[in-house]
Amino acid sequence: MSLSKGNTDKQKILTIASLPTAPATAVRLRFFQPSTKPVKITSDWLDCPWGKCRVTGRLGQRHADLIDTCMYEAIDTDTVNGRLHLLIDPYTIRRKMGSGTQFSYEGTRRLFNEIMQCIVDWETPHSKGMGHIIDAVRLTCETRRNPLNQGKRELWQVTFGEAWTKLIYDDIKLKYDPGTVISLKYGITQAVARILLSHNHKRMRNGIRISTLFEWFGIPKGQARWKHTFNLKEDADKLRSIGFEIDGDFIKPINTDA
C-alpha cells in the first residue's frame, strides 16, 4: 500500500527515483546555522553569493539532517494542492539520524516541531518564497514490522509547505547520502560538506578558501573562526571519507575526474 495519489498535474514527474536529497538553494542560502546547537533567531536578510534569506525560529544542521533523511529515505511521494507529501518509516529515519544507532523518538519529535514552527523567506535570481519548510507530520494507517518487539509500527506522513515544495520541484536537485554528512562531528563541518556537495567538483578543483566559506556562513573574524577552523581540522578524516580534503587554507575535492 502507498500514499493515495491526489491532484498532482505536472508534478507527477517527481517520483521516489527523482526525489532530491535537497534543493541547492536550501544548502547554499543561510537557512540552517552551521551548528548542531542553533539558537532561536528572528533574522534580518542574510546575504550570500546565491541570494538572501530570513529565518524566524531555530534551524541548525540537525534539522537539515532530518529533512535530508526524510527526502532520501522516503517510501512513497505524492503532491496534493501544491504540497509534497512523503511517506516515511520513523525507524529508518531514526537509524540514519543516529548513524546506525537509534536517535531518540523525543529528539525526532523535537526537531520536527522546531522545523514546523519556523518561517523562512528567500529571494534568489531564480526563485522567491516564504512559508514553512514542513507544514505537518502525522501518523498513517500503514505499518511495518517492528524488529524491536516483533509487533507493528505506524508509518508517518510528512507534508512540506507549498512554497518549499515549489522550490524542491524548480531548483537544482542535489542527491547525496545524508548519512555521510550526519557522521561528521561538528555542525560547521556538516555545513561545509553540504555546500561543497552542491558544487561541481571539476569547477572547484582548486578548492574554496576556508575564510570564504566562513564569510558565506556569516561567521565573524576572530575567536569564532579560530574555533571553527580547529573543528574542521578535527573532522578532517571524516571529511576525506566523503571526498574533500583540507589543503592549507583551502578545502578541495580529492577526485576531480568524476
Instruction: Tell me the per-residue pLDDT of 177-192, one tens digit each, with 9 for 90 and over.
Output: 999 999 999 999 999 9
pTM recorded for the entire structure: 0.91
Q: Mean of the per-residue pLDDT values for the chain?
A: 91
- Region 14-19: mean pLDDT is 86
Q: What is the pLDDT of residue 139?
A: 94
Report the share of the chain in percent with pLDDT over 70. Answer: 93
Q: What is the pLDDT of residue 13?
A: 59
Does 103 have pLDDT greater than 60?
Answer: yes
Q: Hey, where are the domains in the chain? A: 9-174, 184-253
User: Bridge-partner residues for 152, per DSSP?
Assistant: 145
Q: What is the pLDDT of residue 61?
A: 98
Higher pLDDT, 111 or 8: 111
Q: What is the pLDDT of residue 250?
A: 94
- Region 242-246: mean pLDDT is 93
Q: Quick check: 160 and 169 in contact, CB under 8 A?
A: no
Poorest-pLDDT segment among 8-17, 126-135, 212-221, 242-251: 8-17
Q: pLDDT category, 5, cuts 50, 70, 90?
A: low
The secondary element (H helix, E strand) that includes residue 84 is: strand 83-88
Does 143 have pLDDT greater than 90?
Answer: no
Higher pLDDT, 18 or 68: 68
Report the share of the chain in percent with pLDDT over 90. Answer: 81
Higher pLDDT, 35 or 13: 35
Q: pLDDT category, 145, cuts 50, 70, 90?
A: confident
Does 27 have pLDDT greater than 80?
Answer: yes
* Backbone φ and ψ of 17, nearest 5°: -65, -35
Long-range CB contacts (within 8 A, 24+) of 224-229: 228/34, 228/186, 228/188
What is the C-alpha radius of gyration for the chain, rounded to an integer number of angstroms? Answer: 18
Q: Could you give the CA distance from residue 14 to residue 30 in angstroms, rounded to a whole number?
A: 26
Higher pLDDT, 6 or 93: 93
